[in-house]
Protein backbone atom coordinates (compact mmCIF):
# COMPACT_ATOMS: atom_id res chain seq x y z
CA UNK A 1 0.00 0.00 0.00
CA UNK A 2 1.12 3.51 -0.84
CA UNK A 3 1.10 6.36 1.66
CA UNK A 4 0.33 9.66 -0.04
CA UNK A 5 1.37 13.03 1.32
CA UNK A 6 -2.25 13.80 2.31
CA UNK A 7 -2.15 10.80 4.63
CA UNK A 8 0.89 12.12 6.52
CA UNK A 9 -0.06 14.70 9.12
CA UNK A 10 1.94 17.91 9.07
CA UNK A 11 3.65 18.46 12.40
CA UNK A 12 1.11 21.01 13.64
CA UNK A 13 -1.80 18.54 13.27
CA UNK A 14 0.33 15.74 14.71
CA UNK A 15 0.83 17.80 17.86
CA UNK A 16 -2.90 18.45 18.16
CA UNK A 17 -3.81 14.78 17.70
CA UNK A 18 -1.14 13.57 20.11
CA UNK A 19 -1.38 16.45 22.55
CA UNK A 20 0.00 14.35 25.43
CA UNK A 21 3.45 14.76 23.97
CA UNK A 22 3.49 18.43 24.93
CA UNK A 23 3.83 17.45 28.57
CA UNK A 24 7.06 15.58 28.06
CA UNK A 25 10.03 17.08 29.84
CA UNK A 26 12.87 18.36 27.74
CA UNK A 27 16.26 16.99 28.49
CA UNK A 28 18.47 19.79 29.90
CA UNK A 29 21.15 19.14 27.26
CA UNK A 30 18.56 19.56 24.54
CA UNK A 31 17.45 22.93 25.88
CA UNK A 32 21.03 24.19 26.08
CA UNK A 33 21.67 22.97 22.56
CA UNK A 34 18.50 24.57 21.31
CA UNK A 35 19.26 27.99 22.76
CA UNK A 36 22.29 28.23 20.50
CA UNK A 37 19.88 28.06 17.59
CA UNK A 38 18.26 31.44 17.08
CA UNK A 39 14.72 31.34 15.82
CA UNK A 40 12.42 33.94 14.40
CA UNK A 41 9.04 33.39 16.04
CA UNK A 42 7.21 34.91 13.10
CA UNK A 43 8.27 31.97 10.96
CA UNK A 44 7.32 29.19 13.33
CA UNK A 45 3.72 28.67 12.28
CA UNK A 46 4.61 28.41 8.61
CA UNK A 47 7.54 26.07 9.22
CA UNK A 48 5.54 23.66 11.41
CA UNK A 49 3.27 23.11 8.40
CA UNK A 50 6.22 22.08 6.25
CA UNK A 51 7.51 19.18 8.34
CA UNK A 52 6.06 15.85 9.43
CA UNK A 53 6.93 13.02 11.75
CA UNK A 54 6.19 9.67 10.15
CA UNK A 55 6.63 6.25 11.70
CA UNK A 56 7.08 3.32 9.34
CA UNK A 57 8.54 2.11 6.09
CA UNK A 58 10.04 4.89 3.96
CA UNK A 59 9.62 2.85 0.77
CA UNK A 60 5.84 3.26 0.94
CA UNK A 61 5.86 7.07 0.81
CA UNK A 62 4.61 8.82 -2.32
CA UNK A 63 6.81 11.92 -2.28
CA UNK A 64 9.08 13.63 -4.80
CA UNK A 65 12.11 11.96 -3.23
CA UNK A 66 13.03 9.57 -0.46
CA UNK A 67 16.54 9.66 0.93
CA UNK A 68 18.57 6.48 1.22
CA UNK A 69 21.23 5.95 3.89
CA UNK A 70 23.57 4.40 1.33
CA UNK A 71 27.16 3.14 1.46
CA UNK A 72 30.00 4.76 -0.49
CA UNK A 73 30.04 2.07 -3.18
CA UNK A 74 26.29 2.53 -3.77
CA UNK A 75 25.83 -1.23 -3.49
CA UNK A 76 22.63 -2.63 -1.99
CA UNK A 77 23.32 -3.34 1.68
CA UNK A 78 21.30 -3.87 4.85
CA UNK A 79 18.97 -1.64 6.83
CA UNK A 80 16.98 1.00 5.01
CA UNK A 81 19.26 0.67 1.96
CA UNK A 82 18.34 -3.01 1.57
CA UNK A 83 14.65 -2.22 1.99
CA UNK A 84 14.83 0.50 -0.68
CA UNK A 85 16.66 -1.71 -3.19
CA UNK A 86 14.22 -4.59 -2.63
CA UNK A 87 11.20 -2.34 -3.10
CA UNK A 88 12.62 -0.39 -6.06
CA UNK A 89 13.71 -3.49 -8.00
CA UNK A 90 16.97 -4.47 -9.75
CA UNK A 91 17.10 -1.54 -12.17
CA UNK A 92 17.99 0.70 -9.23
CA UNK A 93 21.31 -1.13 -8.74
CA UNK A 94 21.99 -0.84 -12.46
CA UNK A 95 21.65 2.93 -12.30
CA UNK A 96 23.68 3.14 -9.08
CA UNK A 97 26.48 1.23 -10.82
CA UNK A 98 26.83 4.04 -13.37
CA UNK A 99 27.41 6.71 -10.70
CA UNK A 100 30.94 5.84 -9.56
CA UNK A 101 30.10 5.60 -5.85
CA UNK A 102 29.48 8.48 -3.45
CA UNK A 103 31.83 9.98 -0.85
CA UNK A 104 30.70 10.39 2.78
CA UNK A 105 28.60 13.53 3.22
CA UNK A 106 27.74 13.77 -0.48
CA UNK A 107 24.51 12.75 -2.24
CA UNK A 108 23.57 11.32 -5.65
CA UNK A 109 20.14 11.01 -7.21
CA UNK A 110 18.48 8.17 -9.15
CA UNK A 111 15.02 7.33 -10.34
CA UNK A 112 12.57 5.68 -7.98
CA UNK A 113 11.76 2.69 -10.22
CA UNK A 114 9.05 0.57 -8.54
CA UNK A 115 8.73 2.95 -5.59
CA UNK A 116 5.88 5.44 -5.34
CA UNK A 117 8.57 8.13 -4.89
CA UNK A 118 9.81 9.77 -8.08
CA UNK A 119 13.46 9.93 -7.03
CA UNK A 120 15.83 8.32 -4.57
CA UNK A 121 18.58 10.50 -3.13
CA UNK A 122 21.48 8.34 -1.97
CA UNK A 123 23.57 9.95 0.73
CA UNK A 124 26.42 8.37 2.65
CA UNK A 125 26.39 9.03 6.36
CA UNK A 126 29.52 9.10 8.56
CA UNK A 127 30.72 5.93 10.26
CA UNK A 128 32.95 7.83 12.69
CA UNK A 129 30.36 10.02 14.43
CA UNK A 130 31.27 13.18 12.49
CA UNK A 131 28.51 15.74 13.07
CA UNK A 132 29.80 17.95 10.23
CA UNK A 133 29.52 15.05 7.78
CA UNK A 134 26.02 14.17 8.92
CA UNK A 135 24.99 17.80 8.46
CA UNK A 136 26.38 17.70 4.92
CA UNK A 137 24.24 14.64 4.17
CA UNK A 138 21.08 16.61 4.98
CA UNK A 139 22.26 19.75 3.16
CA UNK A 140 23.35 17.93 0.02
CA UNK A 141 20.14 15.88 -0.10
CA UNK A 142 17.96 18.97 0.32
CA UNK A 143 19.99 20.75 -2.37
CA UNK A 144 18.42 18.55 -5.08
CA UNK A 145 15.27 20.53 -4.43
CA UNK A 146 16.35 23.16 -6.97
CA UNK A 147 17.75 21.01 -9.78
CA UNK A 148 15.01 18.34 -9.68
CA UNK A 149 12.02 20.36 -8.52
CA UNK A 150 11.61 18.29 -5.37
CA UNK A 151 8.72 19.63 -3.31
CA UNK A 152 8.42 16.77 -0.80
CA UNK A 153 11.22 14.69 0.67
CA UNK A 154 11.43 11.95 3.31
CA UNK A 155 14.54 11.25 5.39
CA UNK A 156 15.37 8.10 7.35
CA UNK A 157 17.48 8.48 10.51
CA UNK A 158 20.77 8.54 8.58
CA UNK A 159 23.78 6.86 10.21
CA UNK A 160 21.90 5.81 13.34
CA UNK A 161 21.63 2.14 12.37
CA UNK A 162 24.62 0.09 11.25
CA UNK A 163 26.81 3.24 11.22
CA UNK A 164 26.24 3.78 14.96
CA UNK A 165 25.73 7.57 15.19
CA UNK A 166 24.10 8.57 18.54
CA UNK A 167 20.36 8.86 17.89
CA UNK A 168 19.68 12.05 19.81
CA UNK A 169 22.54 14.05 18.36
CA UNK A 170 21.61 12.79 14.89
CA UNK A 171 18.06 14.09 15.36
CA UNK A 172 19.35 17.51 16.48
CA UNK A 173 21.46 17.71 13.32
CA UNK A 174 18.60 16.57 11.06
CA UNK A 175 16.14 19.06 12.54
CA UNK A 176 18.52 21.99 12.82
CA UNK A 177 19.78 21.60 9.26
CA UNK A 178 16.24 21.24 7.91
CA UNK A 179 15.09 24.30 9.84
CA UNK A 180 17.94 26.35 8.39
CA UNK A 181 17.17 25.08 4.88
CA UNK A 182 13.47 25.91 5.14
CA UNK A 183 14.25 29.39 6.44
CA UNK A 184 16.47 30.06 3.45
CA UNK A 185 14.66 28.29 0.60
CA UNK A 186 11.25 28.64 -1.00
CA UNK A 187 9.29 25.86 -2.65
CA UNK A 188 9.90 22.84 -0.41
CA UNK A 189 6.40 21.97 0.73
CA UNK A 190 7.08 19.07 3.07
CA UNK A 191 10.04 17.44 4.77
CA UNK A 192 9.09 14.12 6.37
CA UNK A 193 11.23 12.63 9.13
CA UNK A 194 10.69 8.91 8.73
CA UNK A 195 11.37 7.13 12.00
CA UNK A 196 11.50 3.36 12.25
CA UNK A 197 12.81 2.54 15.73
CA UNK A 198 10.68 3.43 18.80
CA UNK A 199 13.66 5.28 20.30
CA UNK A 200 13.69 7.67 17.33
CA UNK A 201 9.94 8.27 17.47
CA UNK A 202 10.33 9.43 21.06
CA UNK A 203 13.37 11.60 20.35
CA UNK A 204 11.72 13.29 17.35
CA UNK A 205 8.48 13.90 19.24
CA UNK A 206 10.45 15.87 21.82
CA UNK A 207 12.93 17.66 19.57
CA UNK A 208 10.47 18.65 16.85
CA UNK A 209 8.66 20.72 19.45
CA UNK A 210 11.86 22.66 19.95
CA UNK A 211 12.90 23.16 16.33
CA UNK A 212 9.36 23.46 14.94
CA UNK A 213 7.25 24.87 17.77
CA UNK A 214 3.53 24.95 17.10
CA UNK A 215 2.50 27.31 19.89
Interacting residues with ligand ADP (CB under 6 A): 57-59, 69, 79-81, 83, 125, 156-163, 194, 196-197, 200
Taking the complex as a whole, the smallest distance from the CB of residue 16 to ligand ADP amounts, in Å, to 25
Q: Residue 35 or residue 73: which is nearer to ligand ADP going by CB?
A: 73
Q: Residue 153 or residue 194: which is nearer to ligand ADP going by CB?
A: 194
| 53 touches 204 (CB < 8 A) | yes
Q: Residue 109 or residue 157: which is nearer to ligand ADP going by CB?
A: 157
Instruction: Tell me the CA end-to-end span of the chain in Å, nearest whole number.
Output: 34
Taking the complex as a whole, the smallest distance from the CB of residue 70 to ligand ADP amounts, in Å, to 8
Tell me the C-alpha to C-alpha distance, in Å, between residue 190 and each of 10, 56, 90, 141, 152. 8, 17, 29, 14, 5
Q: Residue 160 or residue 214: which is nearer to ligand ADP going by CB?
A: 160
Closest among 86, 204, 101 to 156, alpha carbons compared? 204
The DSSP letter of residue 158 is T
Taking the complex as a whole, the smallest distance from the CB of residue 207 to ligand ADP amounts, in Å, to 15
Taking the complex as a whole, the smallest distance from the CB of residue 34 to ligand ADP amounts, in Å, to 23
Amino acid sequence: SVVTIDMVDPWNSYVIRNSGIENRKHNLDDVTEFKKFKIDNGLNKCLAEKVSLYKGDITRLEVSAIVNAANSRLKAGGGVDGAIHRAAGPHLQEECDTLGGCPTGEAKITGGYNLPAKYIIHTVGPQDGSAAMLKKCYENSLAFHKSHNITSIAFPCISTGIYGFPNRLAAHIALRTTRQFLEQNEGMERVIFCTFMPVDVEIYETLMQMYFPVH
